[in-house]
Structure 1
Amino acid sequence: MKKPWIILSAFTLLLLGSVFTITPNATYAEESIPQERHKDKEHHHSFMDEADFKRLTNQGYTKKEILKAAHIAKFADKKIDDVLKTYKDNDSSWEKTAAHYGLDLKDLKKKCHEHKEKFLEEHKEDVIKNVAEYSGKTEAQIQSWLDKGVPLRFIVGGSAMAKASNKDLAELVKLKQAGQSFKDIKNSLNLDKEKMHTEMKVLMKMIKEDIKK
């Protein structure tokens, strides 16, 4: 059975705000939401095994390009290979590529956020439990931040950001409460993108595995 590992990577990128640089962890989208596979029938836009991923990287495409193409492919009901070709034919512009398929990047971003929020809320208890364990906080502390209006999405992304920057999550939450955006905080920390991506993958894997229990 092929492993839906790329789905987790996508969700991770959506949460990091990196999709289309307008940015869970997440490139291709709802597809970016961790979920169980059906054994009998697979949708070629929703999953990609490592062999296909390596095939595309061997063709010269970057990981980000492949994930973004998969995101567009999902909504355009096209093959990832076709979207990548269109991308190259359109001066490597994601805006032009999306427009070619009658899509708008802003609308895609909105849909990504909606699905991301839905996933987190549907599994809120598991998310809080794992974020608390990962960040060294108590579930009560996480809940208190939520009660004060700090978005669950920020707490998840902030946990990975805190770990990657050797900061305390509470410090980042205070910055958020003071009015700074996730992007502002991330930029101020001069984070290594790969390190943060790795931390987010670790956290999301914890959450995903707990949900499957």
Structure 2
Amino acid sequence: MNRNWLFVGILSFSIIFSPLYISKVEAHSHPQTEERHMHFHISDQEFNNLIKKGYSRQEIFRAHFISKHSTEKNLEKILSVYKKNQSWEETAKHFGVDLEKIKQDHIKKHKQFYERNKTKIIQYLTTYTGKSATELENFLKDDVDLHFLVVAAAISKKSNTDISQIIQYKKEGKNYKDIITMLKLEPNTVFMEAKKIHKDIYKIVQE
């Protein structure tokens, strides 16, 4: 997998298969819909045809995720299996996809990427957050890894909340879903901002 998409991969996984994301997509019609399905490499025609056939946006996104890791590329076939068993885990297994293994593989590669490029990532985040390198390093001593720090930076910016407060929420035992919900943010808004951060980091790493 291209390192540029390691972060996007793991964040996509956590958001697409999150109940919070499902509820948000079902409840709202997003102006960023075209941008979102373009990100998942689904054509306008295919996306709209599936919508007309009664499939929801989150069902299409999940089916596409499974298709990326399966020999079956026909989204409607994947969706029809899901409609029969009403379980994404069982649907994934039906097409030979182990969601937990994919998640763990992404996490492993993701951590390796961060470990190799920690110094450059910290340098980037000092500019992005306005915090000193020392402050950011201190956050990492509080049971916070670089992955969380990047997402915390995105949440901080989109909610106008100091990143130290986001870190404090984590120390209190709150996870991404809890924090995003508490700050009344759209999960996709955080995803797109975190994706932007990682693209910037990747460019710096390549210099």
TM-score, length of structure 1 as denominator length: 0.68
Residue type of the alignment partner of 1:197: F
SS of residue matched to 1:102: coil
Structure of greater relative contact order (alpha carbons < 8 Å, 6+ residues apart): 2
- What is the distance in 2 between the residues matched to 1:73 and 1:206? 28
Q: Does residue 177 of the first structure (1) align with residue 203 of the second (2)?
A: no
The one of 15, 20, 23 aligned to 1:18: 15
What is the correspondence of 1:40-189 to structure 2 with a 5 Å cutoff? 53-60=43-50, 68-76=62-70, 78-79=71-72, 81-91=73-83, 93-189=87-183
In structure 1, how many angstroms separate the alpha carbons of the residues matched to 2:61 and 2:120?
A: 26
Query: Structure 1 residue 192 and structure 2 residue 186: aligned?
Result: yes
- Unaligned regions of 5+ residues in structure 1, if any? 24-47
**Alignment-derived partner of residue 29 in structure 1:** none
Equivalent pair of 1:98/1:104 in contact (CA under 8 Å): yes
| SS of 2:198 mapped into structure 1 | helix
Q: 1:105 & 1:199 partners in 2: Cα distance?
A: 25
Match of 2:30 in 1: none
Kept in 1, the 8 Å contact 2:159–2:185? The answer is: yes
- How many angstroms apart in 2 are the aligned matches of 1:162 and 1:53? 33
Q: Which has the higher helix share?
A: 2
Question: What runs of 5+ residues in structure 2 fail to find an aligned partner?
Answer: 21-37
Equivalenced residues, count? 182
Runs of 4+ in 1 over 6 A off after TM superposition: 48-51
Cα distance, 1:90–1:49 mapped onto 2, change above 3 Å: closer
Distance 1:194 1:212, change over 3 A: same
Assess, with a 3 A threshold, how the Cα gap between structure 1 residues 11 and 75 changes in structure 2: closer, same or farther: closer
**What's the RMSD between the two structures over aligned residues?**
3.3
Q: Distance in 2 between matches of 1:84 and 1:21?
A: 22
Deviation at 1:154, TM superposition (A): 0.9
Mapped contact 2:40–2:64 kept (Cα < 8 A)? no
Counterpart CA distance in 2 for 1:175 and 1:50 is 31
Displacement of 1:165: 0.8
TM-score by length of 2: 0.70
* Identical-pair percentage: 27
